[in-house]
A and B are shown apart, each in its own frame.
Chain A
Amino acid sequence: MSKRKVKELHLTVGECISQVQRLLRERFCHFKLPNEPQGMESQHKHLLELLKRTAVHGESNSVIIVGPRGAGKTMLLNCVLSELLEVNEVKKNVLQVHLNGLLQTDDRIALKEITRQLHLENVVGDKVFGSFAENLAFLLQALKKGDRSSSRPALFILDEFDLFAHHKNQTLLYNLLDVSQSAQAPIAVVGLTCRLDVLELLEKRVKSRFSHRQIHLLSRLSFTGYLEAVCTQLSLPQDFPDPRFAQDWNASIKTLCEDKLVVDVLQRHFNSSKDFRSLHMLLMLTLSRVTVSKPTITATDILEASRVCTVDSKANILHGLSILELCLIIAMKHLNDIYDGEPFNFQMVHNEFKKFLQRKSHSIHNFDKPVVLKAFEHLQQLELIQPMDGSTAKVQREYQLMKLMLDHSQIMEALQKYPQCPTDVKQWAMSAFG
């Protein structure tokens, strides 16, 4: 450590750190495209071939990329697209239409968006379309007029493909896939989805027009690969402005990745999820701890970041409750134990709480019923308890049936961590039956 410091004296550490932050943040938060997608070479090749056939030879295609959240679907597609656009003739020739199921929530909006992205607004602008159908007919006409040899190929990219399947009659999907099946203008329909059963959502006529090409992105990453990925994610590139700093940084990252403590932490993360998003979150939290006064990542940083990532949020909320609210939760726990998970109402909880006060406590927690009701309602606001049915107006507040959204171990753990918990309350919670 001391050796490093001597070295950095004649560097402007602040600027270096700032550069590091900028670079790594872009990597973790903005999802900058890597040069080469890792671990999905075959899929990459397949998709590239497919889109090239559309772009160069004018072949119509349809494909769905399926994979869990954060598996790199968008990254793969963007890599392929950027590679495709490097070819000069393709760049001039291809039209791209990006649609997102989250944004284009119905076909009318989607159609407007397609018109906009194909720069047909002016053409459409002159004509007054009475209806959605006419607009669609015009667009289809424009697509149909073309043929394989003369017209420009279009790439339709449908993000959140499963949401398009919820549109009425799936008109948009039907028409797009229909164009891709018949000898009209060459288009490629690329769907991205995280649902494995996406084909079940499609209507029969839509399904029959789909080519049933699916690219699955399932992570086949081993832990050593994961560890390597962490290392490369944190390392600085060759063209970093200050090569000496970059060298030092990379060396320190290398030693960090071999640290037993860090490997343990990463193993735990790997066991819970393999996707890169959660890894990025961990690394982002780690990175935010790097400052000018502490210009390297240490094992404790990663440990602390992983603690923040994996903390149980309900336990955090339980920690901040008042003693009265905690007592009510214990009473509910007892009711759940005795009546085997049956729903309860406020009256029963209050009764249970009163029993505790009479038998065990020295009337220190002697509260009026309205005060207890207020505490109960606060618990409901925090959604720690939820009403069984929605009709709130019909039933009096005291008699509304509720269920507890916590489990036994969460309550006991929260009780252990609770600051200055009274002993009698603790003992009451421990005792098997109220």
Chain B
Amino acid sequence: MSAQLQHPWYSEEKLQSVSEKLRCRETLAGTVLSLLGEPDQFCYPSIFIYGHRATGKSHVMHTLMKELELPHATVSCVECVTVGLLYEQVLHSLFGSEASSLLPRTPSLSDFVRIYRQLCSLSPSKQTRYIVLERAELLRDMDANLLPALLRLQELVKDNVTVILLSEIVWDKFRPSTGCFEPLLIHFPDYTKAELQHILDQESHPSYSPELYSAFINILLGVFYCVCRDLRELRHLAALNFSKYCEPLEEGNVKESETHKLWRNIEPHLKKAMQTVYLREVSSVQWEQQQQMEEKEAGAMRGLSAHGHVELPYYSKFLLIAAYLASFNPARTDKRFFLKHHGKIKKTNFLKKHEKTSNHLLGPKPFPLDRLLAIFYSVVDSRVAPSASIFSQISSLVTLQLLTQVGHEDQLDSPKYKCGVSLDFIRAISRTVNFDIVKYLYDFL
């Protein structure tokens, strides 16, 4: 496969070593290399590379730049909280350490271009200089003129420089309103299943045969492929779960050839991993600890979302329940739910077909404070005085972000709230105070 990477300028061995590092990306690397051309020739002013996460965008560019010793600056836009940092990094890696000190304290783009030109005339390039910007979608949030200027940097600084942008997002979302210099687009396609298998196969465990590892990867892809195609995520999952796969082999119950037994052993385990490790409910360290503790069932440990259960004072619980009921029930049904002698209500009128289950789909509705208190008094059995502590509990629920205040116009006079908790959460709360919330919810009638 390495024969695909050809270039008259670079030596065979170099290209060979490059293509060894770029598994399943040889053809793409070849295309990129032929676009870049020989180092002393001009290259297109800007190149935009897009593709999904973990499709080797940064890896390919980095390997090409490093191995072929091209003068380059790699900058991740996440790090550049101000544009000044971006300029500094570019100048530093293209012209050496003292170059960036020439920049004034808060450099403008004009300063950057001026200094670049200055340095460039001091050390004229024999080779194309490359500026590789990772996570380029963040450039859109910086100064409005930065992206258009970077795209035509070659023209502005009059140097043989190429700006390469890497992003997950398509170019259409970048284009400024008054247009700009259009970059050359290169797409990095996603890895196919076979390619993923091929790449993951490389990291086989030294004490087991590669065939065994490859079978494991096959099972892993069978479980996770329809949810996740992210190579990094898959690699992480493979590393975490391989020891579990080998467990029966170590115990001596199963031979390496009995793939079906191994599959039966690992499959439920992997399914559990999808609900826990994949969602980062359980951290990788916890997951590994669990595997050591064999008697304990995986996932028995409480995940992150289980910790979402908070301990609240008695009245706060009822206030929250009242807020939930006020948010998810229509106001016209309050009489029926919360009044003892509500009289007769026609069933057909009461249950309008189109409203059924709609509130739990559309989300919480805002309600006034009066309604919250009315429901609160009706659900609490004892008599409660409307003391200052009740009202301060409401505002502390807001600071805990269990309630949210809607509209900030008047804080004291009839404020409106929304309930911001999920059904599972409120169920758990109402269970602690022996309150059957489902009976009072309109959606579940």
Contacts and interface: CB of A to CB of B under 8 A. Distances in A.
A36 interface: no
Contacts of B228: 322
Contacts of A101: 145
B31 interface: yes
Contact of B189 (A74, A103, A320): A320
Interface in B218-249: 225-229
Nearest to A405: B173
A218 interface: no
Contacts of A382: 52, 168-169
Chain A at the B interface: SS class = helix
B361 A381 contact: no
Interface in A9-60: 14, 17-18, 21-22, 25-26, 28-31
Given A281-B184, A322-B227, A367-B227, A396 B50 contact: no
Contacts of A18: 8, 38
Interface string A398-409: 110000000000
Interface in B253-294: 274-275, 278-279, 281
A419 B229 contact: no
Interface string A315-337: 01101111110000000000000
A3 B402 CA distance: 81
Contacts of B113: 103
Contacts of A396: 363-364, 420, 422
A278 B155 CA distance: 17
Interface string A253-289: 0000000000000000000000001100100110011
A284 B420 contact: no
A22 B41 contact: yes
Interface string A87-119: 000000000000011111100010011001000
Contacts of A309: 185
B36 to A, nearest CB: 9
A225 B155 CA distance: 27
A242 interface: no
Nearest to B137: A383
B121 interface: no
B197 to A, nearest CB: 14
Interface string A290-327: 01110000000000000011010110110111111000
Nearest to A352: B361
Interface in A351-397: 351, 365, 367-368, 370-371, 374-375, 381-383, 394-396
A105 B31 contact: no
B110 interface: yes
B109 A371 contact: no
A288 B364 contact: no
A332 B226 CA distance: 19
Interface in B185-201: 185, 187, 189-190, 192
Given A103-B156, A396-B420, A398-B422, 19 more contacts: A26-B41, A102-B156, A103-B149, A104-B110, A105-B145, A194-B178, A288-B37, A289-B34, A313-B187, A316-B187, A319-B189, A320-B190, A345-B361, A347-B361, A348-B362, A370-B281, A382-B169, A383-B170, A396-B364
Interface of A: 14, 17-18, 21-22, 25-26, 28-31, 69, 74, 100-105, 109, 112-113, 116, 162-163, 194-195, 277-278, 281, 284-285, 288-289, 291-293, 308-309, 311, 313-314, 316-317, 319-324, 345, 347-348, 351, 365, 367-368, 370-371, 374-375, 381-383, 394-396, 398-399, 419
Interface of B: 6, 8, 31, 34-35, 37-38, 40-45, 50-52, 55, 108-110, 113-114, 143, 145, 148-149, 152, 154-156, 160, 168-173, 178-182, 184-185, 187, 189-190, 192, 225-229, 274-275, 278-279, 281, 305, 360-364, 404, 420, 422
The 3 closest A-B CB pairs, nearest first, are: A399-B363, A320-B190, A313-B170
